[in-house]
Amino acid sequence: MSHEADQPTGAPSGQRMNPPSQPEESTAAAEAQRSSSNRVPQWSAMRLVLGFTLGAVIGGGIWLVVLTLVYRDAMPPLTPERLEQARALWEKNGPDSYEMELVIQGRQPGTVFIEVRDDQVVRMTRDGHTPRQRRTWEYWRVEGQFDTLARDLRSAEQPDKGFGAPAGSRVILRAEFDKKYGYPRRYRRVVSGTDLNVEWKVTRFTPH
Confidence class for position 134, pLDDT limits 50, 70, 90: confident
Better-predicted residue by pLDDT, 179 or 48:
179
67 and 114 in a common domain: no
156 and 105 in a common domain: yes
Q: Report the pLDDT value the prediction gives residue 161, as an integer from 0 to 100.
A: 94
98 and 32 in a common domain: no
185 and 90 in a common domain: yes
Give the number of domains in the chain: 2
Rounded Cα gap, residues 105 and 7, in angstroms: 97
41 and 113 in a common domain: no
Rounded Cα gap, residues 33 and 36, in angstroms: 5
99 and 56 in a common domain: no
155 and 81 in a common domain: yes
Return the axis-axis angle of helices 80-93 and 142-157, rounded to nearest 10°: 170
Q: What is the mean pLDDT of residues 105-111?
A: 94
Q: Is 19 helix (H, G, I), strand (E, B) or coil?
A: coil
- Residues spanned by the domain of 203: 76-207
92 and 171 in a common domain: yes
Residue 140: which residues within 8 A CB-CB, separation 6 or more? 100, 102, 112, 114, 124
175 and 82 in a common domain: yes
Tens of pLDDT, residue by residue over 15-66, are 444 555 555 555 555 555 555 555 545 555 555 555 545 544 454 444 444 4
Q: Is residue 111 assigned to a domain?
A: yes
